[in-house]
C-alpha cells in the first residue's frame, strides 16, 4: 500500500543561524575565543568564524508527494550539499514510496560511498532522511516519535550548553556544558584559566549541578588528561570531544586516564553505524553523542542506538533540536537531551534552530512534555520569511 508517491525533491541554502548554529552575529558566546584544533594558529584563535566555521550555512531539503504533502528538514551543508541532494540523491526518491526509507537510505549511502562515508555527504543524506520521516509523519498524520515506537517517558529533561551554566541552573536545566576557551597552544596559563573558570562556575552553581566541558576536538591526550585530573576536584561530570574524532586510539587512552567517575563523551562529528561501532568497540567513551542531522538521520540513528544499547552505553544526541527530541523520548538509553543555548548571552531560552523553524518547542523549566511533540511529522514548519536560495535544480 502506498499513501502517496514522492514527486519532487528540492534543496535550498539559508543563512543566519538555524541548523548552522555557528552562523551567528558578532558578540555571540559561541564565537568567543573557544578552543579549536585551529587555535594553534594565533590568527584563528579568537573567532571560529575567522577560519570558516560558518561557511556552509543551513541546508533545507523539501520532499513533495504527489498529493501535495511536503516533508522538510534542516541540517548543515549549504550549497555543496544542495548539489549532492539535487544532482545525486533525488533520483533514489522520486517516484518511490516514502515508507521505503530503508532502501532509500541504503541506495543513498552506497551510491555515494566512493566520495562520501562521513562529513558533508552524510549531512546531505541525513537531511534527506529527516525530510522523508517528516513527510511520512505528515502523510500518516502522526508525530515521528510514534513512528519510532512511541514515548518511553512522559517528558524530556535537558542540560544546557552555553557560557552561563549559572543561568541555566536558574532556568531549570539539569546541568550546564561550558565551551573550553584555551587549548594546548596557550600553555599552562591557558590550562589554569580553564580550571579557574570551572571552579568559579562550581562556586556559583553549588555541588550537585552537573558541569561539563566541551573541548571541540582541540586537545591532545596529554593535555586532556591533565585537564580532566585538574577539573576533577571541581566536579567535572564529563569531558567532551577532547581530541580529534579520527583518533579512536587516543579516546581509548583518555577513557583509561580520566579520574574514576568522570565520563568521556564524543561522537558529534562521527557518522553511521560503522563509525560508532569503532567508538563502541574500542571503548572510547561512556556516552555517544551523534548529531541527528550529521550521523545519517533517524534511519541510521536507530541502528547506532541499538549498537550502543547492546554495549550498555547512553546515546545523548548533539544539539539537533526536534530531530533529537522525537528520538530521545523513544529510547531508554537516551535518558536526557542537550539544549544548545542560542541566545547570545546566553541568558534566555530561545528555539535552538531559530529563526528557521516555526513551532519549534523549547524546554520550560528544563523540561519538555512528550505531548508537546504531538503534531504530524517533526511538528515544525519552515519559516518562509527567511529567504531560501535554490542554487541547483534537476
Q: What does the DSSP assignment read for 99-163? A: T-HHHHHHHHHHHHTTT-SSTHHHHHHHHHHHHHHHHHHHHHT-BHHHHTT--SSSEEEEEEESS
Q: Does 214 bind Mg ion (CB under 5 A)?
A: yes
Instruction: Tell me whether residue 64 or residue 241 sits nearer to Mg ion (CB atom).
Output: 241
CB atoms within 10 A of CB 203: 10
Counting Cβ atoms within 10 Å, is residue 100 exposed (0-12), middle (13-18) or buried (19+)?
A: middle
6 backbone dihedrals φ, ψ, rounded to 5°:
-75, 125
22 assigned binding-site residue: yes
Give whichever of 72 and 353 is closer to Mg ion, judged by the CB atom.
Answer: 353
What would the grid cell of residue 84 be?
549532492
In angstroms, the CA 4 to CA 96 distance is 9
- Footprint of ligand LR3VJJ5N on 284-343 (CB under 6 A): 318-319, 338, 340
For ligand LR3VJJ5N, which is the closer residue by CB, 137 or 183? 183
Ligand-binding annotation for 214, yes or no, is: yes
> Taken in order 132, 134, 138, 141, is the CA torsion positive or negative?
positive
Query: Does 216 interact with ligand LR3VJJ5N (rule: CB under 6 A)?
Result: yes
Residue 92 CA, chain-centre distance (Å), reads: 25
Which string of x and - marks every residue 247-286 that binds ligand LR3VJJ5N (by CB under 6 A)? ---------------------x------------------
Whole-angstrom Cα distance, residue 374 to residue 238? 33
Q: Is 343 a catalytic residue?
A: no
CB of 34 to ligand LR3VJJ5N, least distance (A): 5
Q: How many chain residues are in contact with Mg ion, going by CB under 5 A? A: 3
Angle formed by the axes of helices 297-310 and 272-281, to 10°?
20
Q: Quick one: what does residue 357 bind among ligand LR3VJJ5N, Mg ion, none, with the CB cut-off 5 to 8 Å set by partner type?
A: none
Give least dist CB 66 to Mg ion, A. 40
Among 4, 13, 34, 122, binds ligand LR3VJJ5N (CB under 6 A): 34
Q: Residues 88, 269, 318, 326: which is the catalytic one?
A: 318
Report the residue number, 133 or 216, with the smaller CB distance to Mg ion.
216
Alpha carbon 260 to chain centroid distance?
27
Q: Which residues make up each annotated binding site for Mg(2+)?
A: 214, 240, 268
Q: What residues form the annotated binding site for substrate?
A: 22, 48, 338
Q: Which residues are catalytic?
A: 318
Q: Which residues bind ligand LR3VJJ5N (CB under 6 A)?
A: 30, 34, 161, 179, 214, 216, 268, 318-319, 338, 340
Residues that bind Mg ion (CB under 5 A): 214, 241, 268
Amino acid at each position: 500500500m502506498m499513501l502517496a508517491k514522492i514527486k519532487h525533491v528540492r534543496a535550498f541554502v539559508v543563512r543566519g543561524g538555524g541548523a548552522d548554529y555557528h552562523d551567528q552575529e558578532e558578540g555571540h558566546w559561541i564565537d568567543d575565543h573557544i578552543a579549536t584544533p585551529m587555535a594553534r594558529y594565533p590568527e584563528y584563535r579568537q573567532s571560529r568564524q575567522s577560519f570558516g566555521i560558518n561557511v556552509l550555512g543551513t541546508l533545507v531539503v523539501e520532499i513533495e508527494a504527489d498529493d501535495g504533502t511536503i516533508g522538510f528538514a534542516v541540517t548543515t551543508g549549504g550549497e555543496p550539499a544542495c548539489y549532492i541532494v539535487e544532482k545525486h540523491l533525488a533520483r533514489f526518491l522520486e517516484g518511490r514510496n516514502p515508507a521505503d526509507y530503508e532502501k532509500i537510505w541504503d541506495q543513498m549511502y552506497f551510491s555515494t560511498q566512493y566520495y562520501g562515508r562521513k562529513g558533508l555527504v552524510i549531512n546531505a543524506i541525513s537531511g534527506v532522511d529527516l525530510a522523508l520521516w517528516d513527510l511520512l509523519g505528515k502523510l500518516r498524520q502522526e508525530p515521528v516519535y510514534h513512528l519510532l515506537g512511541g514515548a518511553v517517558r512522559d517528558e524530556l529533561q535537558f542540560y544546557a550548553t552555553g557560557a552561563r551554566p549559572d543561568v541555566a541552573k536558574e532556568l531549570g536545566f539539569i546541568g550546564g556544558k561550558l565551551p573550553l576557551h584555551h587549548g594546548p597552544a596557550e600553555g599552562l596559563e591557558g590550562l589554569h584559566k580553564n580550571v579557574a573558570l570551572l571552579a568559579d562556575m562550581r562556586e556559583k552553581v553549588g555541588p550537585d549541578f552537573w558541569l561539563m566541558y566541551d573541548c571541540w576536538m582541540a586537545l591532545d591526550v596529554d593535555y586532556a588528561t591533565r585537564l580532566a585530573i585538574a577539573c576533577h576536584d571541581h566536579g567535572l561530570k564529563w569531558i567532551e570531544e577532547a581530541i580529534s574524532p579520527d583518533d579512536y586510539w587516543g579516546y581509548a587512552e583518555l577513557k583509561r586516564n580520566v579520574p574514576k567517575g568522570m565520563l568521556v563523551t564524543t561522537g558529534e562529528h562521527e557518522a553511521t553505524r560503522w563509525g560508532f561501532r569503532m567508538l563502541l568497540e574500542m571503548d572510547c567513551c561512556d556516552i555517544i553523542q551523534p548529531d541527528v542531522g550529521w550521523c545519517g538521520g533517524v534511519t541510521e540513528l536507530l541502528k547506532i542506538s541499538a549498537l550502543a544499547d547492546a554495549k550498555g552505553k547512553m546515546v545523548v544526541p548533539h544539539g539537533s533540536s526536534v530531530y533529537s527530541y522525537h528520538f530521545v523520548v523513544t529510547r531508554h538509553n537516551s535518558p536526557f537531551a542537550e539544549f544548545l543555548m542560542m541566545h547570545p548571552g546566553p541568558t534566555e531560552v530561545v528555539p535552538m534552530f531559530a529563526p528557521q523553524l516555526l513551532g519549534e518547542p523549547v524546554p520550560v523549566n528544563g523540561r519538555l512534555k512528550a505531548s508537546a511533540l504531538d503534531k504530524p511529522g517533526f511538528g515544525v514548519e519552515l519559516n518562509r520569511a527567511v529567504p531560501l536560495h535554490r542554487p541547483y535544480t534537476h
